[in-house]
Chains A and B, each alone.
Chain A
Amino acid sequence: RKEVEQDPGPFNVPEGATVAFNCTYSNSASQSFFWYRQDCRKEPKLLMSVYSSGNEDGRFTAQLNRASQYISLLIRDSKLSDSATYLCVVSGSSNTGKLIFGQGTTLQVKP
């Protein structure tokens, strides 16, 4: 089983659509969870951290289910500028700061 697994997509959606991405992770000892965004050939940039209680930042909502080892990201009212690859990221279990990345899910928002 992959350490962090995501549906690679691509997801092609019209502007204004709501889109959801899912992710599962294998290590139950992971303590920190993130969604990063990566534009083509650029560095990953933090979109949001993910907390057990769920959290929202504008049009973006992240959820974590530790029992199922499942993380989700919901994007409402998609904009053209949301087109990117979304990376599900979890911390390693060794508490050294190591991050484990999923393959990424590609989103293409069309006018």
Chain B
Amino acid sequence: EPEVTQTPSHQVTQMGQEVILRCVPISNHLYFYWYRQILGQKVEFLVSFYNNEISEKSEIFDDQFSVERPDGSNFTLKIRSTKLEDSAMYFCASNRDRADEQYFGPGTRLTVT
């Protein structure tokens, strides 16, 4: 069964450093998303992406965040200058149609020290 994959599974970085989280969505999917979940809290929407552009972003997704689909398979989330409060699990998701079930990757645990 096709699945969304994410790398790395765990990333530790120092405050102020840049990180890039990588995702490979399911191959025939057209809509891509990033969510985050701070430990003990709910899953929060960050951004949706379709046709090589952002279709919606949340208040969390400020100028420090960017997304890119550099080729036909990868979908990346970059945080330019990490803060302690960016520590969370970051989930990538995708679907073929925006009303369909979203398939989530296993997540990247980001720890900012």
- Chain A positions near chain B (C-beta within 8 angstroms): 31-32, 34, 38, 41-46, 49, 87, 91-92, 94-104
Q: How long is the Cα–Cα vector from A104 to B105 in the complex, in angstroms?
A: 19
A42 in contact with B106 (CB, 8 Å): yes
Cβ contacts under 8 Å, B31 to chain A:
97
A44 in contact with B89 (CB, 8 Å): no
| Interface residue range, chain B | 20 to 34
Task: Tell me whether A41 and B89 are in contact in the complex, defined as CB-CB below 8 angstroms, given that A49-B101, A102-B42, A103-B42 are known contacts.
Answer: yes
Specify which of A38, A43, A46, A96 is in contact with B98 (CB 8 Å cutoff). A96
- Chain B positions near chain A (C-beta within 8 angstroms): 31, 33, 35, 41-45, 48, 50, 55-56, 58, 89, 91, 95, 98-99, 101-102, 104-107
* Least CB distance, B106 to chain A, in whole angstroms: 5
Q: How long is the Cα–Cα vector from A103 to B42 in the complex, in angstroms?
A: 5
Specify which of A43, A92, A95 is in contact with B107 (CB 8 Å cutoff). A43
Cβ contacts under 8 Å, B104 to chain A:
43-45
Q: Given A43-B106, A99-B35, A100-B45, output 20 extra A-B contacts at Cβ < 8 Å.
A: A32-B99, A38-B43, A43-B104, A43-B107, A45-B104, A87-B43, A92-B56, A96-B55, A97-B31, A97-B33, A97-B50, A97-B55, A98-B33, A98-B45, A98-B48, A99-B43, A99-B102, A101-B35, A101-B44, A103-B42
Q: How long is the Cα–Cα vector from A38 to B104 in the complex, in angstroms?
A: 11
B105 in contact with A43 (CB, 8 Å): yes
Between A and B, 19 residue pairs with Cβ closer than 8 Å are A41-B89, A42-B107, A45-B104, A46-B101, A46-B102, A49-B101, A87-B43, A92-B56, A97-B98, A97-B99, A98-B45, A98-B58, A99-B45, A99-B102, A101-B35, A101-B42, A101-B43, A101-B45, A103-B41
A96 in contact with B91 (CB, 8 Å): no
* Least CB distance, B2 to chain A, in whole angstroms: 14
